[in-house]
Structure 1
Amino acid sequence: MLPEEGVNAVRAVLGLLVRGHYEELETLTEGRRLSAGEMASAIERTGRHLITPPDGAFRSLDAVPLADGAADERAFRVRVPLWTAQDGLSDLAVSLLVTEVMDGVWTVELLGIHAGEGT
């Protein structure tokens, strides 16, 4: 289960994504994997408008612990369904790598934005 600090990191990422603050999100994720332009393009291609998920959506995140990180790090691969104005809960999802790099300090890497069940 993803600790609360990790959940808060996921909330922050989704908040930036929903508000279209792609440059801030690129800075937060240190530009690993996706640039601000790539994020914007991925969302625009869906033709849908992202909205903030209800609080309950964060209670049962699909978080898979990864065992291959450094001994002092905890890492999780997290798939988060996205909500849209058109659909409510949609078939879109974001895949994240959420890592605790120090006690209570979490980083996030945006792995992808996609439709369907895959990550």
Structure 2
Amino acid sequence: MNIDKHLEIEIIELIDALVKGDHAKISERNWYGRLNKEHVESKLSEYGNTLILPPNSFLEKIDTYNYSDGSGMAIDVPLWTQEEGMSDLTISLELLYKESKPALQMTDLRIL
């Protein structure tokens, strides 16, 4: 995993917002990306288990893929549930390097 501390913190904040159902924060921080509130709520409801914050060691489970053109990276982050621990739910994120600062956004929420 090759992500810096600021990105780690932002990923943790995004997961915390998902756990709390804080869609206002997700929208405010422009984390929805290709998704929207309805899609996220639908996927989580369909899955049926209760999201929880992951253990600190979850960072070791993150997969990153750098774009060959240097414009950013794709990041797959497993999610945890109360019922399962590490679950089959994964959020796919994209980090795009913009002129002022990198921009993180969700690209998919899926069941593996």
TM score, norm. by length of structure 2: 0.86
Distance 1:31 1:60, change over 3 A: closer
> Which residue in the other structure is 1:108 paired with?
104
Give the gaps of 5 or more residues in structure 2: none
- Deviation digits for residues 55-101 of structure 1 (CA, Å, limit 9, x no counterpart): 1112452111113354xxxx221101110011011111110002343
The residue identity in structure 2 corresponding to 1:53 is P
In 1, the alpha carbon distance for the partners of 2:105 and 2:59 equals 18
> Which residue in the other structure is 2:93 paired with?
96
1:77 counterpart = 2:74: yes
Query: How large is the Cα RMSD of the aligned pairs?
Result: 1.9
1:106, CA displacement in angstroms?
3.0
What secondary structure does 1:57 align onto?
helix
- Deviation digits for residues 27-71 of structure 1 (CA, Å, limit 9, x no counterpart): 32264311112211111111111000011112452111113354x
Give the gaps of 5 or more residues in structure 1: none
Aligned sequence identity (%): 23
TM score, norm. by length of structure 1: 0.81
In 2, the alpha carbon distance for the partners of 1:19 and 1:30 equals 15
What secondary structure does 1:101 align onto?
coil
In 2, the alpha carbon distance for the partners of 1:60 and 1:84 equals 15
Distance 1:9 1:30, change over 3 A: closer
In 1, the alpha carbon distance for the partners of 2:51 and 2:32 equals 21
1:15, CA displacement in angstroms?
1.0
In 2, the alpha carbon distance for the partners of 1:79 and 1:18 equals 17
Q: Number of matched residues?
A: 111
